[in-house]
A and B are shown apart, each in its own frame.
Chain A
Amino acid sequence: MSALQEIVDTQPIETTPKKYMALGNYASIVVVILLCVAPLIAKNFVIFQMTMVLIYAIAVLALNILTGGSGQFSLGQSAFYALGAYTSAILMEVGGVNYALTLPIAGGICFIAGYLFGLPALRLSGIYLALATFALATAMPQLLKLHYFEAWTGGVQGLVITKPDAPFGLPLSQDMWLYYFVLVVSMAIYVASVNLLKSRSGRAMMAIRDNEIAASAMGVDVALYKTLAFGVSAGITGVAGGLGAIAVQFVAPDSYTIQLAIALFLGMVVGGVGWLPGSIVGAAFIVFVPNIAEHFSKGLSGAVFGLILVLIIFLLPHGSRQIAYTVQGWVHKLRK
């Protein structure tokens, strides 16, 4: 209310130096081996859950690029996830396209949608941007229910998708094949994202995140990179949505409400904002913690979930990357 209040110098997103955004080589190899071996000893349902973890990890990663990379906050990721899921589902069931081919199309459509949404979003920041993206997330399920599109989307009922078999007569169950398929896609996306953030474009985005005015003074095209970040993030989320539709074998408007967007947001915070490997930790949180909470007490599952979340943010306000840094510190000490 006072004049003084107008000179607020806030830094909403923590700054992460780019060399800390990814895991080191050894750590990466260990994680990949673990992810490859894990399904061999797990039951089918657990494999399905792990597949979902990987898929959500992709979506959390996408949000991480947007928020941790370019400093824009979004509660609308569920809308792009839904768009990707429906694109894949419609192409597969109505168009008869191979499931693997639907993913790049879903990603492309979502990239365009995200880029276009990024244009008006340029005018907004912080809380105002959160509200705009929130509007998108609440509108999406309602739009999918509209009877104009019912011939394709199946309206409120949604669409049922057939699960793909392993190709070339490989002796793998459907769940196991899908797991490895998702694993390959997510690793490709992870590597591409790390490289993106290390590149000139990534540096430009981070410069905008850290100080928009300074970045534009240095010649960074702020509008271009902000909308690009939205596009890339939406595109990756779309791929995750497509994979999610294939894994769950079903799309319906009510699977993609604002709750999904909030879950993805929580995943990002728990994983560590701006730390890409944390995405998988955050995704594991999204998939497993509600189940654990339910296990403790049916009636109070919400409270247990909340308490676990509070505990995590108390102990690790910077998310799982705090653990990673600590471990890294120990390793350095041991070497010396």
Chain B
Amino acid sequence: MELLLNQVLAGIATGAIYACMALAVVMIYQAIDHLNFAQGEMAMFSTFIAWQLLQWGVPYWGAFVITLALSFAGGIVIERALFKPLGNAPVLTHVAGFIALFAIINSVAGLTWDFTIKQFPSPFGSSPFLGSQLISTHQAGMIGVTLVLLLLLYFFFQFTRIGLAMRAAAAQPESARLVGINTSWMIALGWGMAAAIGSIAGMLIAPVVFLEPNMMGGVLIYGFAAAVLGGLSSPFGAVVGGFLVGIFENLAGTYIPGVGNELKLPIALALIVTVLVVKPTGLFGRAIVKRV
């Protein structure tokens, strides 16, 4: 019983990473209706910027805020430069664009900061949290930040004019245009916010997985899985999905014989697919009703 409890706790701790990433994924999905395959690389790049600032002697929270602002601007620039011109190109062409973006960012980061593993500091320290060996203060802090972020997003989308405009632009672009919403800039704003949330995720994850250009590969896969499991239309679902995937992964590794580290990912994914087969729009997603 204690083993189970410990594993669940450890799962929640890693789940916080996935939840963070999934939140960023869902954000951009809300704004542009696509899964951004380059999301992880964008977060990685932001984290490198933060690391560079820290190296130059900027205090942590200063670096944090500057990185956030730069990522926000970067996200908007990417949208304006790369995806706005693509405009009405087919969806699959957009996906190819994400893959191109992935390759470019990964390669540029590798050339600028090379591929050696770097330490990234945590603002919460890494002593045991409340005397428990399983969760460190950093992981507890990560869970806290994720939940606060979720709350802020909820308020933003529910109670501000611009949040409402963004939702309208994503749901009904044409009607939104008719009532005077600048849908094109709403999409750009969505990119900016997704990049900023991604940078927070990156800076929280980096102390755990260490900073290097490929650090997001695995995390992004779990982040996607978490977002899809929770239902892509629901930020709350994404966070719950993140924790669930973390717990799944740990329990599968512990209790199913013959599952080493190698098979953890396939098993976690297989479980998710099973859930999806039963509930095709994710746990908290809403079914899309098609008009024929």
Residues of A within 8 A of B (CB): 1-2, 4-10, 12-14, 67, 73, 120, 123-125, 127-128, 130-132, 134-135, 138-139, 142-143, 145, 211, 213-214, 262, 265-266, 268-270, 273, 299-307, 309-310, 313-314, 317-319
18 contacts between A and B (CB under 8 A): A1-B30, A5-B167, A10-B91, A12-B91, A13-B90, A13-B91, A124-B277, A132-B276, A134-B269, A135-B269, A135-B270, A139-B270, A300-B107, A300-B108, A301-B107, A305-B107, A310-B101, A317-B89
Which secondary structure dominates chain B's binding surface? helix
Residues of B within 8 A of A (CB): 30, 33, 35, 82, 85-86, 89-93, 95-97, 99-104, 106-108, 110-111, 157, 167-168, 170-172, 175, 221, 224-225, 228, 232-234, 262-263, 265-266, 269-270, 272-273, 276-277, 280-282, 286-292
Q: In the complex, which of the residues A6, A134, A305 contacts B103, with contact meaning CB atoms closer than 8 Å?
A: A305
Minimum Cβ distance to chain A for residue B289 (Å): 5
User: Which A residues lie within 8 Å of B282 (CB)?
Assistant: 128
**A266 near B99 (CB under 8 angstroms)?**
yes
- Beyond A5-B171, A145-B262, list 7 extra A-B contacts (CB 8 Å): A5-B286, A6-B286, A131-B225, A269-B92, A269-B93, A301-B107, A309-B103
Known: A135-B270, A300-B111. A7 touches B167 (CB 8 A): no
Instruction: Report the bound CA distance from A134 to B265 in whole Å.
Output: 11
User: Which A residues lie within 8 Å of B102 (CB)?
Assistant: 306
**B96 near A142 (CB under 8 angstroms)?**
no
Instruction: Report the bound CA distance from A318 to B157 in whole Å.
Output: 35
User: Which A residues lie within 8 Å of B30 (CB)?
Assistant: 1
Minimum Cβ distance to chain B for residue A125 (Å): 8
Determine the residue in chain A with the shortest Cβ distance to B233.
Answer: A1
User: Which A residues lie within 8 Å of B89 (CB)?
Assistant: 313, 317-318
Instruction: Report the bound CA distance from A262 to B111 in whole Å.
Output: 23
Instruction: Report the bound CA distance from A120 to B265 in whole Å.
Output: 20
Minimum Cβ distance to chain A for residue B164 (Å): 9
**A317 near B90 (CB under 8 angstroms)?**
yes
Minimum Cβ distance to chain B for residue A51 (Å): 25
**A309 near B99 (CB under 8 angstroms)?**
yes
By Cβ-Cβ distance, the 4 closest A-B pairs, closest first, are A302-B107, A135-B269, A139-B266, A317-B89
Determine the residue in chain B with the shortest Cβ distance to A304.
Answer: B107
Determine the residue in chain A with the shortest Cβ distance to B96.
Answer: A269
User: Which A residues lie within 8 Å of B96 (CB)?
Assistant: 265-266, 269-270, 309, 313
Instruction: Report the bound CA distance from A131 to B97 in whole Å.
Output: 18
Minimum Cβ distance to chain B for residue A243 (Å): 25
User: Which B residues lie within 8 Å of A318 (CB)?
Assistant: 89-90, 93
User: Which A residues lie within 8 Å of B234 (CB)?
Assistant: 1
**A131 near B107 (CB under 8 angstroms)?**
no
Known: A6-B289, A300-B107, A309-B99. A13 touches B273 (CB 8 A): no
Q: In the complex, which of the residues B97, B104, B288, B291 contacts A303, with contact meaning CB atoms closer than 8 Å?
A: B104
**B280 near A124 (CB under 8 angstroms)?**
yes
**A6 near B287 (CB under 8 angstroms)?**
yes
Instruction: Report the bound CA distance from A204 to B111 in whole Å.
Output: 50
User: Which B residues lie within 8 Å of A317 (CB)?
Assistant: 86, 89-90, 93
Instruction: Report the bound CA distance from A287 to B98 in whole Å.
Output: 20
Instruction: Report the bound CA distance from A303 to B106 in whole Å.
Output: 8
**A142 near B277 (CB under 8 angstroms)?**
no
Q: In the complex, which of the residues B101, B225, B276, B288 contacts A8, with contact meaning CB atoms closer than 8 Å?
A: B288
Determine the residue in chain B with the shortest Cβ distance to A316.
Answer: B93
Minimum Cβ distance to chain A for residue B211 (Å): 18
User: Which A residues lie within 8 Å of B35 (CB)?
Assistant: 127, 130
Minimum Cβ distance to chain B for residue A233 (Å): 16
Instruction: Report the bound CA distance from A145 to B256 in whole Å.
Output: 18
Minimum Cβ distance to chain B for residue A296 (Å): 11
Q: In the complex, which of the residues A6, A135, A145, A302 contacts B273, with contact meaning CB atoms closer than 8 Å?
A: A135
Best-surrounded residue of A139, A265, A270 (most CB of chain B within 10 A): A139
Instruction: Report the bound CA distance from A314 to B168 in whole Å.
Output: 28
**B272 near A135 (CB under 8 angstroms)?**
yes
**B97 near A6 (CB under 8 angstroms)?**
no
